[in-house]
């Protein structure tokens, strides 16, 4: 969503952008232009905020860490060197946009929304919270499963200099590194109409980069915190993906819709119960409570799949390039340039290869 507006707004006045995109979508694109412009207006150069004597020490320290991560992204990870994440904005809210994900009641295939220039993606993003809720309500009334997500960051693919935001700046250092590298990876490589490719690629870059940063520069506390987070995330993913696979098998079966609905209800209830057991293993760590609290349905499972499905394939590709980031990006781009069927066949082949490790 914001990528499209960024591209058009950078060369055209807002009134003409809206005219070109059509009257029926005018409210949607109007809130997108307004929200993007408001965000950009709140930016302050990173060096000025760090040097300002009124900046709280804790904020200054986090900005200095983010600055070091940003330098590392370009010098060591071959990610774009530009003005992105060289400024800071406090939005006075805990998220930047709301994303609406949807999937049919008995399918894990996400709905797609298509935009000029950007192509089709498996979500619809809003700065306007009320408008996002209205779309979510309408989709639910139409019978879809819906997931309304609070999103802490997104990329305009380099069309604007994306700022550091209060919505993620205070994350633990490993997770902050992962997020910044993920968003910059979208600027390095983006394939229109292929959300699973784009998000899995960026997720892989984020994780690979974060681990390298921590290996070279992380404190013992940073490394321990990220290792614990990764163990918990792996447990979480194994639990949820098993449920997703069971549901996919159920939906593809020849059973009646009534039987499928009951099977879906039971499997999601079982997922909730097993999460409570998993929490005990973690010493009652509550980090995924919010994920299970609402919208536990096909749309949420489909969204998770979009961001993670091909991550092992990209990690294998990285190992094949001798863990050289620039060569890895070239190899990933070559796959991205393939026709869609061949592209995903190649990624499936990479998925079938033995795990490469670190």
Residues 121-138 pLDDT 10s: 899 999 999 999 999 999
C-alpha span between 331 and 317 (Å, rounded):
8
DSSP state of 87: E
DSSP characters over 133-181: HHHHHHHHHTT-EEEEEEES----TTSS-PPEETTTTTS-HHHHHHHHH
- Residue 81 structure tokens: 């060197």
The predicted pLDDT at position 121 comes to 87
The predicted pLDDT at position 114 comes to 87
The predicted pLDDT at position 119 comes to 79
C-alpha span between 285 and 37 (Å, rounded):
38
pLDDT single digits (tens) 289-328: 999 999 999 999 999 988 999 999 999 999 999 999 999 9
Per-domain residue ranges of the chain = 2-190, 221-352
Q: Nearest to residue 271, comparing CAs of 306, 252, 246?
A: 246
Strand residue runs (E) in the chain: 44-45, 87-89, 97-103, 113-115, 119-121, 124-126, 145-151, 164-165
CA dihedral 332, 112, 307, 178 (to 10 degrees): 80
Max Cα–Cα distance, the chain, nearest Å: 67
- What are the residue ranges in the chain where pLDDT is below 50? 1-22
The predicted pLDDT at position 261 comes to 98
The predicted pLDDT at position 285 comes to 93
């Amino acid at each position: 969503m914001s990528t499209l507006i960024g591209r058009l707004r950078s060369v055209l006045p807002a009134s003409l952008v809206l005219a070109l995109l059509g009257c029926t979508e005018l409210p949607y694109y109007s809130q997108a232009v307004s929200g993007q412009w408001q965000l950009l207006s709140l930016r302050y150069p990173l060096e000025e905020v760090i040097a300002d004597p009124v900046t709280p020490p804790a904020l200054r320290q986090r900005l200095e860490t983010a600055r070091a991560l940003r330098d590392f992204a370009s010098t060591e990870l071959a990610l774009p060197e530009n003005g992105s994440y060289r400024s800071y904005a406090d939005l006075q809210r805990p998220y930047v946009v709301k994303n609406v994900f949807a999937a049919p009641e008995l399918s894990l295939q996400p709905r797609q929304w298509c935009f000029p220039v950007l192509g089709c993606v498996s979500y619809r993003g809003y700065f306007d919270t009320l408008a996002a809720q209205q779309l979510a309500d309408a989709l639910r009334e139409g019978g879809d499963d819906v997931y309304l997500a609070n999103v802490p960051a997104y990329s305009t693919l380099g069309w604007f200099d994306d700022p550091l935001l209060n919505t993620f700046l205070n994350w633990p250092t490993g997770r902050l590194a992962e997020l910044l590298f993920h968003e910059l990876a979208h600027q390095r490589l983006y394939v229109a109409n292929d959300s699973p490719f784009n998000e899995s690629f960026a997720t892989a870059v984020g994780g690979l980069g974060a681990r390298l940063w921590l290996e070279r520069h992380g404190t013992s506390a940073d490394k321990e915190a990220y290792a614990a987070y990764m163990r918990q995330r792996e447990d979480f993913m194994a639990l949820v993906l098993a449920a997703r696979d069971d549901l996919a098998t159920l939906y593809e079966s020849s059973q009646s819709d009534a039987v499928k609905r009951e099977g879906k209800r039971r499997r999601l209830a079982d997922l909730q119960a097993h999460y409570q057991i998993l929490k005990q293993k973690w010493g009652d760590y509550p980090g995924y409570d919010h994920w299970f609290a609402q919208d536990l349905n096909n749309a949420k499972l489909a969204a998770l799949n979009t961001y993670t499905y091909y991550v092992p394939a990209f990690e294998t590709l990285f190992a094949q390039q001798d863990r050289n980031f620039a060569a890895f990006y070239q190899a990933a781009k070559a796959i991205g340039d393939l026709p869609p069927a061949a592209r995903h066949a190649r990624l499936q082949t990479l998925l079938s290869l033995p795990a490469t490790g670190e």
